[in-house]
A and B are shown apart, each in its own frame.
Chain A
């Protein structure tokens, strides 16, 4: 089954404790992206990747890192999480940005 898998689905953690949210897709897609969704602000793009070893900043990259060492994986890293990074996060992939995107189920992060 074609899917985008995010882990964990839920996480409560504390300020400053490094965390990684994993994202994996099994569709051989070249384009992958991370979004955060906040009430009143909607979806905003954090980082995206056009292909392996190619990543670019989106609208709100501050406080986040990503890597794309293999085509299928695109982890989101919060080196020193802060409460303003409490949000609902989505990973998505597509063959290219101008193609329909497949979304993961979301990760709800709470930073205390």
Chain B
């Protein structure tokens, strides 16, 4: 079973700072998910990536398949970015099974 580890667990930063959240997994995968959970509890999918880098607005996700590591970056952070960020990977690495999740990174951006 894939083991997914995230760091840091908690992160408090000032508005405008560059943020990095890390995710490592133990079994080679077909795709890795990054999710955002708002303070109200709702979950949205930010990225699903299998190689290289993806960018959406101020959010950038990268993945290194060989090193089994992914990062989520936020540029010019803003208080509205405050949320829990969660990465998830397939159980056994393939595309035909369930997901296992990191415990999440609780991000607070102070004005």
Q: Which residues of B contact A97 (CB under 8 A)?
A: 90, 95-99
A43 proximal to B (CB < 8 A): yes
A106 proximal to B (CB < 8 A): yes
B41-49, B65-73, B75-83 - interface stretch: B41-49
Bound Cα distance A78, B31 (Å): 31
**Chain A interface residue number, banded:** 20 to 34
**Chain B interface residue number, banded:** 20 to 34
Could you tell me if B42 and A106 are in contact, using CB atoms closer than 8 angstroms? Answer: yes
* Contact pattern, B 9-52, Cβ under 8 Å of A = 1, otherwise 0: 00000000000000000000011010100000111110110100
A98 proximal to B (CB < 8 A): yes
A15-23, A44-52, A68-76, A79-87 - interface stretch: A44-52
Bound Cα distance A58, B98 (Å): 6
Bound Cα distance A100, B32 (Å): 10
Choose among B30, B48, B98 the residue that contacts A56 (Cβ–Cβ < 8 A). Answer: B98
Most chain B beta-carbon contacts within 10 A, residue among A40, A43, A103, A106: A43
Given contacts A42-B86, A98-B48, contact A56 B97 (CB under 8 A): yes
Bound Cα distance A106, B42 (Å): 7
CB distance from A57 to the nearest CB of B (A): 8
Could you tell me if B45 and A102 are in contact, using CB atoms closer than 8 angstroms? Answer: yes
Q: Which residues of A contact B99 (CB under 8 A)?
A: 33, 45, 48, 97
Q: Which residues of B contact A (CB under 8 A)?
A: 30-31, 33, 35, 41-45, 47-48, 50, 86, 88, 90, 95-104
Q: Which residues of A contact B (CB under 8 A)?
A: 33, 35, 40-45, 48, 50, 56, 58-59, 88, 90, 92, 96-103, 105-106
